[in-house]
Amino acid sequence: MLAGLGTLAAAAALAATAPPGRILPQTVALFLLGYGWNLCFIGGSGRLARDLPAQRRAGVEGAVDAAVWGVAATGSLASGLVLATGGYALLAGAAGAIVVLPTAVLLHRR
């Protein structure tokens, strides 16, 4: 999960600093965004599977998946509003800021 969060932070930094209209940096940033998301999702799912008792695993994983996809849908809608009002740099900066809290939690629990 830490690798995923680091990848998400790199994606946000690249997206925020990419010159407008440059396709390659934006493409790389979006690839890193998807890759980092997947690293976090797989890491979190693996951690749930490892730490939950078998009889509770399916219910908890289903609830977590529903919450994750609900938050993702809300974030997707909100990102359109942020992009429209503040531009790509603001959107990427906000995404980078969001990475800080889960990173701090993971590092604290190590």
Q: pLDDT tens for residues 69-105?
A: 999 999 999 999 999 999 888 988 898 899 999 999 9
Predicted structure pTM score: 0.83
Mean pLDDT for the stretch of residues 10-38: 92
81 is in which domain, residue-wise? 2-109
Q: How many domains does the chain have?
A: 1
Q: Is the pLDDT of residue 110 over 80?
A: no
Question: What's the pLDDT at 20?
Answer: 81
Question: What's the pLDDT at 60?
Answer: 92
Question: What's the pLDDT at 87?
Answer: 87
Residue 46, classified by CB atoms within 10 Å of its CB into exposed (0-12), middle (13-18) or buried (19+), is exposed
